[in-house]
Amino acid sequence: MPTPGAPDPFPGTRPVLTQVEIDRARPHGRVRQVEIGEILYRPGEVGRPCFILLSASLEIVQPSIHGERPVFHLCPGMFTGEAGMIAGQRTVVQARVMQAGEVLELRPEELRTLVARDAGLSEILLSAFMLRRLMLITRQLGNVALIGSRHSADTLRLQEFLGRNGHPYTYVDLDADDASRNLLDRFAITASEIPIVIGNGTMILRNPSISQLADSLGLNDNINKGLLHDLVIIGAGPAGLAAAVYGASEGLDTLVIESHAPGGQAGTSSKIEGQRPVSVRHPFSK
Residue that is last in its domain, among 90, 122, 138: 138
Domain count, the chain: 3
**CATH no. for residue 172?**
3.40.30.10
Domain boundary among 176, 211, 246: 211
Q: Is residue 270 part of a domain?
A: yes
Output the pLDDT for position 280. Answer: 53
57 and 127 co-located in one domain: yes
Judge whether 1 lies within some domain.
Answer: no
> Exposed (0-12), middle (13-18) or buried (19+): which is 116, by Cβ within 10 Å?
exposed
Pair (244, 180) in one structural domain: no
Which residues of the chain carry a pLDDT beneath 50? 1-4, 265-268, 270, 273-276, 284-286
Contact 49, 93 (CB under 8 A): no
Is 111 found in the same domain as 90?
A: yes
User: What's the pTM value of the predicted model, to 2 decimals?
Assistant: 0.62
What gap in Å lies between CA 207 and CA 102, rounded to an integer? Answer: 45
Round to whole Å and give the CA distance between 176 and 29. Answer: 49
Domain span including residue 187 = 144-211
Q: What is the reported pLDDT for 104?
A: 97
What pLDDT score was predicted for residue 102?
97
pLDDT at 259: 72
Residue 208 parent element (H or E): none
Question: Does some domain include residue 157?
Answer: yes
Looking at the fold, whether 51 and 66 belong to one and the same domain comes out as yes
Report if residue 74 sits inside a domain. yes
Per-residue pLDDT at 65: 62
State whether 67 and 129 are in the same domain.
yes
Residue 8 lies in a domain: no
Specify the pLDDT at position 30: 96
The Cβ of residue 106 has, within 10 Å, a number of other Cβ atoms equal to 25
Q: What pLDDT, on a 0 to 100 scale, did the predictor assign at position 285?
A: 44
Q: 200 and 167, same structural domain?
A: yes
CA dihedral 41→14→124→130, nearest 10 degrees, is -70
Q: Looking at the structure, do residues 25 and 55 belong to the same domain, yes or no?
A: yes
